[in-house]
Amino acid sequence: MIIVLLGVSGCGKTTVGKQLSQKTGIPFFDGDDFHPKSNIDKMTKGMSLNDNDRCPWLLSLASNIETWAEENGAILACSALKERYRVVLSSKYNDIIWVHLSGSHDLIKGRIEKRGGHFMNADLLASQFKDLETPEYGIHADISESPEKITENIISKLENINQSFFGVIGLGVMGSSLSLNIAEKGYALSVYNRIAPGEENIVSDFLNKADEVMQIKGFTELKAFVNSLERPRKILIMIKAGKAIDAVIEALIPILSEGDILIDGGNSHYLDTNKRYEYLKSKQLHFIGCGVSGGEEGARKGPSIMPGGAKESYQIIEPVLEAIAAKDKKGNACCAYVGLQGAGHFVKMVHNGIEYAEMQLLAEIYALLSITNNNEEITTILSQWNTTDLSSYLLEITINILKTKENGKYVLDTILDKAGNKGTGSWSTKAGFDLGTVNTMMSSAVFARYISSFKEKRKHLSKFIKSDLKVTDVFDVNSLEKAYRFARIINHHQGFELIRLASKTFNWQLNISEIARIWTNGCIIRSEFMETSVNVFKDYESYLDTTDLLEVLISAENHMTKSIAYSLSHRVPFDTFWSAYNHWIAITTENLPANLIQAQRDYFGAHMYQKIDAPKEQFFHTNWY
């Protein structure tokens, strides 16, 4: 390593250079020791050197630098005030690390005077300041500190030289795509994947996939990975949620430094994120629970990103996250600070809950339309819908799925009807219970997946059902389209209500319109309706506060009942649509039979009840028998 300490006379090049040499073990050289005799004679006579005098001196230093670089490196103290001097110095070895010791004229003058016995012409110092062309590159060390502190600062900055700006742990589907996305945006990146039996080449395979111009370093040893990162270290953990995250965090803690930032980009439960946030805070480490949506393609080309944690932690990584995120219609990043603690992961969880119900609605539509239409006809119907306000990413991929053939067969027709899940839908559903709000559509969608998985049971019981259903009535596709629009509004309503309630409960102060905005692109639930939602939440707390959307719901009621009736008469499970409709009926009904529930509760448990005509603070009990 070649380090040149530059600066005007009296800035402390020799003192700092020697200390730096002591701490790093790199030999120290004083540039003044390499002047030719003619220069020494001139200086001894008190004459200043001109550029012609300096030229042979700088050239000889350049040759020495070349030699030192091949040996043990060097720390060279050399004023190198002008850019053209630095060009000559680096003419034979251009990887020099320039360290500019910078301080004001008065500070240096004062220090020189204090030293005593050291004479320096005031004009000479002033002319050096005039000559100084401060380099924009390299390390700039403020000399107002003590030499020890200056040395310490330089060492910490040196550690960052040639180090990666960002790190990613986990090169699975998401981690590798996000890594390529980050590196493509010009960030120097380090990546790490554990070595598991049979998967020894994950890192090298990944590096082979990466473009040559990308600056990526690969590691299979955690400590080396951590050491390769500049401080504060910024590490995105992109691995399986749950215990694996805790294990990786525990392995990282002893090798991280105060102020480093860990970002969990997986689908972690927000309550786990809350705990990890507090735990890492106690270790003086930042922690960002970051929701990422968009699947593999989104991660590579631009996902929707939902970061939560302390705002000041987020601000350090904001440029990277914004650079890799999808862009909304106005060109703004689909990434915004969500809120404290696990707010980012909470919002991502609800995103997935909405996604579950959106997917199930399309599955129920597919089931209903399949009664009288083949895949091609269904494609035509859905393609038409996708040209309207119903357009969405999920509708688009459903159309593509319906069209896809392999060996002359529709792939869809060959897929076993057992739906899997990774848990985020059920977490969302449970959050509704915990916070006391209605999210029946996502729960219906989760249960629909569960019941689909009982394939053997379904096969067995289906034999007992006499299938003498006849398709008599012609199904009105127009009604289904309106029912679909209706159900989507209720689904989004339930999801955003869940977020609104969490914001209130946990005092997260979430900006709902902004959350809708970062969901307008990159994520799985991006849609035309999400664009509408951004504006709705700028002015209203809820969709149901807007007359336009209320009108859409009211006018679609009979289409909903028609579609539900059709599903009933043809034995098609249609639970997610039902849930939407039931929610709507209940929320628009003044008198519900909850009076009976209250009476029953009071009957067996003396839970008391309020009365229609008494103040709501007043509770009553009846001796029922």
Does 247 engage in binding with ligand NDP (CB under 6 A)? yes
Long-range Cβ contact pairs of 314-320 (< 8 A, separation 24 or more): 314/288, 316/232, 316/234, 316/261, 316/286, 317/234, 317/261, 317/263, 317/288, 320/165, 320/166, 320/182, 320/185, 320/187, 320/234
C-alpha to C-alpha distance for 467 and 533, rounded to whole angstroms? 43
Pick one of 133, 199, 221, 541: the residue that binds ligand NDP (CB under 6 A).
199
| Shortest reach from residue 442's CB to ligand NDP, in Å | 17
Cβ closest to ligand NDP, residue 102 vs residue 352: 352
- Is position 145 annotated as part of the catalytic site? no
What DSSP state is assigned to residue 227?
A: H
C-alpha to C-alpha distance for 336 and 346, rounded to whole angstroms? 14
C-alpha to C-alpha distance for 495 and 542, rounded to whole angstroms? 11
Catalytically annotated residue among 13, 217, 234, 348:
348
Does 173 engage in binding with ligand NDP (CB under 6 A)? yes
| Shortest reach from residue 229's CB to ligand NDP, in Å | 18
Catalytically annotated residue among 230, 355, 364, 497:
355
Does 592 engage in binding with ligand NDP (CB under 6 A)? no
The two beta strands, 286-293 and 304-308, are antiparallel
Stretch that binds ligand NDP, among 7-15, 165-173, 314-322, 452-460 (CB under 6 A): 165-173
Does 301 engage in binding with ligand NDP (CB under 6 A)? no
| Shortest reach from residue 1's CB to ligand NDP, in Å | 34
Cβ closest to ligand NDP, residue 300 vs residue 562: 300
Does 292 engage in binding with ligand NDP (CB under 6 A)? yes
What Cα–Cα distance (Å) separates residue 43 from each residue in 48, 119, 123? 6, 13, 15
What Cα–Cα distance (Å) separates residue 336 from each residue in 428, 439, 502, 515? 21, 25, 18, 8
SS3 call for 461 = helix
Does 40 engage in binding with ligand NDP (CB under 6 A)? no
SS3 call for 481 = helix
Total interface residues for ligand NDP by CB under 6 A? 24
Does 541 engage in binding with ligand NDP (CB under 6 A)? no
- Is position 531 annotated as part of the catalytic site? no
What DSSP state is assigned to residue 416?
A: -
| Shortest reach from residue 390's CB to ligand NDP, in Å | 24
Does 289 engage in binding with ligand NDP (CB under 6 A)? no
Residue 57 structure tokens: 């001196």
C-alpha to C-alpha distance for 214 and 188, rounded to whole angstroms? 8
Does 288 engage in binding with ligand NDP (CB under 6 A)? no
Cβ closest to ligand NDP, residue 178 vs residue 487: 178
Does 423 engage in binding with ligand NDP (CB under 6 A)? no
Cβ contacts of 58 within 8 Å, gap of 6 or more? 85, 88, 89
Cβ closest to ligand NDP, residue 205 vs residue 528: 205
Q: If phi over 0 gives left and psi between -120 and 50 gives alpha, with beta otherwise, what is residue 419?
A: beta
Provide the mask over 304-323, with x wherever binding to ligand NDP is found by CB under 6 A and - wherever it is not.
--------------------
Stretch that binds ligand NDP, among 134-142, 242-250, 253-261, 444-452 (CB under 6 A): 242-250
Cβ closest to ligand NDP, residue 300 vs residue 493: 300
Pick one of 170, 339, 342, 432: the residue that binds ligand NDP (CB under 6 A).
170
Percentages of the chain per state (helix, strand, coil), in multiples of 5: 55, 10, 35
Provide the mask over 222-241, with x wherever binding to ligand NDP is found by CB under 6 A and - wherever it is not.
----------------xxxx
Task: Give me the residues paired with residue 100 across strands.
Answer: 6, 140
SS3 call for 198 = coil
* Greatest distance between any 2 Cα atoms in the chain: 119
Stretch that binds ligand NDP, among 77-85, 243-251, 431-439, 511-519 (CB under 6 A): 243-251
Does 344 engage in binding with ligand NDP (CB under 6 A)? no
Which residues are the active-site residues? Answer: 348, 355
Applying CB under 6 A, the residues found at the interface with ligand NDP are 170-175, 193-194, 196, 199, 202, 238-241, 244, 247-248, 266-267, 292-293, 295, 422
